[in-house]
Amino acid sequence: MTTALLVIDVQQSFRERDTWKAVSNPDIVDDVGALVEAARLRGDLVVWVLHSEPGTGTVFDPTNGHVRLMDGLAAREGEPVLTKTSRNAFTTTNLQQLLTERGVRELVVTGIQTEQCCETTARLANDLGYRVDFVTDATATFPIPHRDAPTDRTVEELLADPRTLGVEEVLARTEYALARRFATIRTVAGLTSA
């Protein structure tokens, strides 16, 4: 086993936020599920990562019950489920040790949010010497407000602001930043048809 599928933050927390109405990929569970099934058939390791912000009272606070995989996804026995408190999946977990112990040298990255936890993990993984495939169409993100925009706006106000970075722009920017530098951009179809 030299390849691992990293499923990053595909958790109920995101569905509890108003911004879920504007998510780039409302069918992410189906896309991730297809990648998980293909990885299992190939005998690749599947690693599940959840984001937690203890003590914050937010949807990422584990005491609120939303720091769990989205319905339709489940780890099988022997598949690690890690909980992180940083943007990348390495810094606050034992992910690198786990991968090293299992001889993993190639990673497939999927999850939420495309430009945050997924991209940050892919960049760090590359720096650590892993070969990285980034499956953009099995990630999800949200519109990004302008740096000077008020923080208390509704989703509708966010989308109406011409300064907001739309989800298609976020996805494209991430691919431009990663391709030929930190990762190879792959598709669900390309990884599940083999």
Which residues belong to the active site?
A: 117
Listed in order, strand segments (DSSP E) in 113-176 are 131-140
> 167-178 and 119-127 helices cross at what angle (nearest 10)?
0
Closest of 150, 49, 167 to residue 109, by C-alpha: 49
Tokens of 132: 């990285």
Place of tokens 């810094």: 91
Using CA atoms, how far apart are residues 29 and 36, in angstroms rounded to an integer? 10
What element of type H or E holds 69?
none
Task: Please count the other Cβ atoms lying within 10 Å of the Cβ belonging to residue 156.
Answer: 11
Tokens at residue 172, please? Answer: 């494209």
Token pair listed for 123: 């960049």
State which amino acid sits at residue 64.
Answer: N
